[in-house]
Amino acid sequence: MLLGVAGWPVGHSRSPAMHNAALAHLGLAGWRYVFLPVPPELFTETVRALPAAGFQGINVTVPHKEAALALADHATDTARAIGAANTLSFDRVTHAIHADNTDAIGLLEALPPGHEPGGRTSLVLGAGGAARAVVHALLSAGAADVAVWNRTPARAERLVADLGGGRVVDAPVRAEIIVNATSVGMGPFKATPITADTVATGSCVVDMAYSAGGTALLELARSRGAVGVDGLEVLVAQGAASLERWTGRPAPRDVMQMAARATEPP
């Protein structure tokens, strides 16, 4: 049985290492999770060919998440509300394609105990696909306030209108939960999307951007006495939720966590 991750590019993804470690741990011999580098113009026809080629499902990453929802035969309410899918499952008999989005549940699972969104204030940085899943998650978990800041305000206005909640702010505001869903901080460049005075002691800062050795935002958060959660925690949680949908088995999160971290470049 085959699984995989479709993206363009996708060679940097830690998902294959993480999922293959989980499949081995579960004793699912014969299952394999592969890289699927697919350019946008070939995405739909490639995915439509996967069920007959022995695939049970795939993860979908940048830039294909919206196209993945569009091509699916069925979709969960969560995927439709977010407007994007990161998980596709294939019916083995009919080859029908089912779309889901585990990014939202992944974010909620990655939040440490004592920082659940219910009744808490939050700030989301960004207004792309990642931010849409985060805002959906925070709203559905009952956050008291979901402030959305984006470099391009019109995109934030569209996000809030589409998701039917949250409010646009013209500058980052203090909040009990801050989630960076911009690409600022990714890669080798040390940059933060917010300044230190936005981070309150005791708050929780999630950085969806990931950088080996830690991002500048997480360093800043910890120096301010906030709890930091890195992007790999969210990656593991969304991957675990996807794996459970495909295999029907509880995902070994510790094994996945270790495999994802072990593939860090030196």
Task: Using CB under 6 A, list all residues that contact ligand ATR.
Answer: 62, 126-131, 150-152, 155, 181-184, 193
The answer to whether residues 240 and 107 touch, using CB atoms and an 8 Å cutoff, is: no
State the Cα–Cα distance between residues 86 and 68, nearest whole angstrom.
8
Q: Which of 14, 65, 115, 136 is catalytic?
A: 65
Facing residues of 180 across strands?
Answer: 125, 207
Would residue 65 show up in a list of annotated catalytic residues for this protein? yes
The answer to whether residues 58 and 47 touch, using CB atoms and an 8 Å cutoff, is: yes
Min separation Cβ 229 and ligand ATR, Å: 17
Between 155 and 245, name the residue whose CB sits nearer to ligand ATR. 155
Between 88 and 131, name the residue whose CB sits nearer to ligand ATR. 131
DSSP code string of 143-160? BSEEEEE-SSHHHHHHHH
Min separation Cβ 122 and ligand ATR, Å: 16
Between 128 and 214, name the residue whose CB sits nearer to ligand ATR. 128
Min separation Cβ 113 and ligand ATR, Å: 27
Closest CA to 65 of 141, 122, 7: 7
Between 166 and 252, name the residue whose CB sits nearer to ligand ATR. 166
Closest CA to 16 of 42, 37, 41: 37
Between 163 and 184, name the residue whose CB sits nearer to ligand ATR. 184
Min separation Cβ 125 and ligand ATR, Å: 7
**Bridge pairing between strands 74-75 and 97-100:** parallel
Min separation Cβ 225 and ligand ATR, Å: 25
Distance between terminal CA atoms of the chain? 32
State the Cα–Cα distance between residues 254 and 86, nearest whole angstrom.
22
The answer to whether residues 201 and 174 touch, using CB atoms and an 8 Å cutoff, is: no
Determine the residue with CB nearest ligand ATR: 128
Active site residues: 65
